[in-house]
Amino acid sequence: MHEVSIVARDPRRFETVIGRERTDVFVNTAALATELLAGRSIVNINSTAAGGGVAEMLHVLLGYVRGMAIDTRWVVIEGSPAFFELTKRIHNHLYGGSGDGGPLGEAEHHVYAETLQAEHDDLAAMLRPGDLVILHDPQTAGLAEHAKHLGCQVAWRCHVGIDEQNAQSEQGWTFLRPYLEPFVDHYVFTDPGFPPPWIPPERTTAIWPSIDPFSPKNQELSDETVEAILTHVGILAGRPGDTTFRRNDGSVARVERHCDVFRTGPPATPESLMVVQVSRWDVMKDMIGVMQAFADHVDGVSDVELVLAGPTVTAVADDPEGGQVLQSCWEAWRALPHAVRRRVQLVCLPMHDLDENAVIVNALQRHAAIVTQKSLAEGFGLTVAEAMLKRTPVVASAVGGIVEQVIDRETGLLVKDPTDLGEFGAALVRLLGDDELRSKLGAAARDRAVEVHLGDTHLQSWVEVMTALTS
């Protein structure tokens, strides 16, 4: 187990985005939280400090929580490849799939419990009775008993799920239930439809994650900087220039590294319209589906490029399937007819420096004419909120948390059946051919993202959970 450093952020910065009045409410909410905690700490525990939505969200939100002098910490558990293979299998089950098809039986309980048992001493050294422990996702669920035993209040925050349980998801829940039910005081889900029936609704809160308008992922970048960054990393054939951005800690840095790009021929020109999906290399994100829909249905539109971007595959510790999924994408890309293949780039983003990785994602989401999130299932889909905040119109599957974010034809386009490549392709073609619609959806998306996806609303919801836990 190791602790992740949290950089304190000043909540007053929000004033430029949400105005004075709303910022005052934000700051007052923090005061209420401090009062409720009365000297206790909030300890977040998850399984990775980098890559994916949970890490992204914790970096941001906890920074503001620290900035408001609330005592909060973040620790990351360690596990063997066998443990992460297993927890990925559980994760896939909660999304209604069977993952790698492996079992969830006695032997798996043994691997799971034994791995988490190894964290007990570290946990005991860190927690004090009364602390509020927030365990994230299946990887840490098995720590609830120990945290409870140490006298803490325990919340389990589940970021994944599906609205209608099926045989696979029930199997996943059956595995987790004995670790949760006797010990968890409160549950937090992204969507009220995600919890299984045995979780008491009166001890459950639905909370959307939030994004930070000032982080490297979302901070404003000029068109010149966007072009310079994408040119430097090897995605665009544009004008080289200044790749300066502001880090999370406030210091100034430059994008130095390059991306690994699979491409035939030269990079895209800045003038061509770019369709972008940024995701982990995960089957649920259906990168291959995006590529196939692009090949089969968008081919007639001239001057359009597709970029599928994800992290370097060795970089996300709790996501062992990344390499296989990237390999399948590469094989599908190789099988495309040359005329289509030369308009599709597969990009692995450098992960040595998370701020640098984030600002490349930022530049991609800003440069994109359309951001897609063609997930087959989705807990929330932070990439959607990120694009919306940047006024980039979104075409996304109507699944999980995406449905909460995108109001179809008002703040983006939703594709009802996530497996329907024709419907997805038609939405892309419609939007690519209509500049006015893209601007209209993008502007409405920005307003909506500012209204509901920023940290102040998020913190308000957590204060409600803290009230429930401390009362």
Per-residue binding letters, 349-388, with ligand UDP (x by CB under 6 A): x-------xx--x------------------xxxx--x--
Q: Distance between CA atoms of 98 and 188, rounded to whole angstroms?
A: 24
Residues 249-308 that bind ligand UDP (CB under 6 A): 278, 280
Q: Any bridge partners for residue 273, and if so which?
A: 304
The two tokens of residue 218 are 């979302």
Q: Does 53 bind ligand UDP (CB under 6 A)?
A: yes
Residues 434-463 that bind ligand UDP (CB under 6 A): none
Which DSSP category does 408 fall into?
B
Q: Which stretch binds ligand UDP (CB under 6 A): 50-58, 166-174, 188-196, 233-241?
A: 50-58
* Interface pick for ligand UDP out of 97, 142, 195, 310 (rule CB under 6 A): 310
Q: Does 99 bind ligand UDP (CB under 6 A)?
A: no
Nearer to ligand UDP, 67 or 379 (CB): 379
Shortest approach of ligand UDP to residue 352 CB, angstroms?
A: 12
Q: Does 97 bind ligand UDP (CB under 6 A)?
A: no
Measured between alpha carbons, how far is residue 59 from residues 72, 181, 217, 432 in Å? 12, 28, 11, 34
Of the candidates 144, 142, 145, 119, the one whose C-alpha atom is nearest the C-alpha of residue 134 is 144
Of the candidates 341, 385, 380, the one whose C-alpha atom is nearest the C-alpha of residue 159 is 380
* Interface pick for ligand UDP out of 23, 43, 56, 306 (rule CB under 6 A): 56
Shortest approach of ligand UDP to residue 381 CB, angstroms?
A: 5
Nearer to ligand UDP, 86 or 123 (CB): 86
Of the candidates 369, 448, 381, 379, the one whose C-alpha atom is nearest the C-alpha of residue 408 is 448
Which DSSP category does 283 fall into?
G
Of the candidates 382, 407, 318, 355, the one whose C-alpha atom is nearest the C-alpha of residue 89 is 318
Rg of the chain over CA atoms, in angstroms? 22
Q: Note whether 380 and 453 are within 8 A (CB).
A: no
By rule CB under 6 A, what count of residues binds ligand UDP? 17
Nearer to ligand UDP, 11 or 310 (CB): 310
Q: Does 218 bind ligand UDP (CB under 6 A)?
A: no
Q: Any bridge partners for residue 188, and if so which?
A: 157, 205
Residue 406, helix vs strand vs coil: coil
* Interface pick for ligand UDP out of 30, 48, 49, 52 (rule CB under 6 A): 52
Nearer to ligand UDP, 142 or 161 (CB): 161
- Contacts with ligand UDP by CB under 6 A lie at 52-53, 56, 217, 278, 280, 310-311, 349, 357-358, 361, 380-383, 386
